[in-house]
């Protein structure tokens, strides 16, 4: 199972995430987001990663700008959170993580048809493209999400205290976390380490039950 730690804005936090075992480190390039980071500021952070893959998060951005930022920062994946259709996705030069909001327009059939390598399922909140830190109804969603044939990342309201439950319910490819890693609006190194410890222990238990 994989862990994506998102919303990084400092070298210290990104390196702590990687050192703790994160598989993906995410940067938010949507200007209206609280965790927005300028692409130029993300360049040295992404360039310092040795193992974790850099992911850029975008919302209905011009695909030419997405590709420019992906090249500039050295992104491994582009994560799209808006209304981007399949034609849009085919213009992107990097592998895609397509985000859906459960309770809005999510359907496993649409996710399976979308030209993306990974599918991310987040909570629905009207007027927000995601990143709310709120969980959706996991038990209710599990059966439908299980019909997605591609690797799935579960996001929304996940922290050290409930990541084991997420893995038990979904048996996902991975989880995506951000808000639970923060203290006073900034990434906390102890919280990053505590989350990854809880994640590793839960993942080991799930492997043991497989």
Residue with tokens 């919303």: 7
Catalytic annotation present for 85: no
From the CB of residue 48, how many other CB atoms can be counted at a distance below 10 Å? 13
Closest of 57, 63, 59 to residue 79, by C-alpha: 57
Catalytic annotation present for 62: no
C-beta of residue 8 within 8 angstroms of C-beta of residue 17:
yes
Cα angle: 2, vertex 57, 133; to 5 degrees = 70
Question: Of 104, 122, 137, 176, which is the active-site residue?
Answer: 122
Report the length, in residues, of the chain: 210
Q: Structure tokens of 202? A: 């839960």
Burial code of 19-30, b = ≥16 C-beta within 10 A, e = fewer? ebbbbbbbbbbb
Closest of 157, 171, 156 to residue 202, by C-alpha: 171
Q: What residues act catalytically?
A: 6, 122
């Amino acid at each position: 199972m994989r862990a994506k730690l998102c919303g990084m804005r400092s070298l210290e936090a990104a390196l702590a995430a990687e050192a703790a075992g994160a598989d993906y480190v995410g940067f938010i390039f949507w200007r209206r987001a609280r965790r927005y980071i300028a692409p130029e500021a993300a360049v040295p952070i992404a360039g310092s990663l040795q193992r974790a893959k850099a992911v850029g998060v975008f919302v209905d951005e011009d695909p030419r700008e997405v590709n420019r930022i992906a090249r500039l920062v050295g992104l491994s994946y582009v994560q799209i959170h808006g209304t981007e259709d399949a034609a849009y996705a085919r213009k992107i030069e990097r592998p895609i993580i397509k985000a859906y909001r459960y309770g809005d327009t999510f359907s496993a059939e649409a996710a399976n048809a979308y030209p993306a390598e990974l599918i991310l399922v987040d909570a629905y909140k009207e007027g927000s493209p995601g990143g709310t830190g709120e969980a959706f109804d996991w038990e209710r969603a599990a059966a439908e999400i299980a019909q997605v044939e591609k690797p799935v990342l579960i996001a929304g309201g996940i922290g050290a205290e409930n990541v084991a439950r997420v893995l038990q319910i979904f048996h996902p490819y991975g989880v995506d976390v951000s808000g639970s890693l923060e203290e006073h609006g900034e990434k906390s190194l102890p919280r990053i380490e505590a989350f990854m410890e809880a994640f590793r222990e839960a993942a080991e238990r799930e492997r043991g039950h497989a």
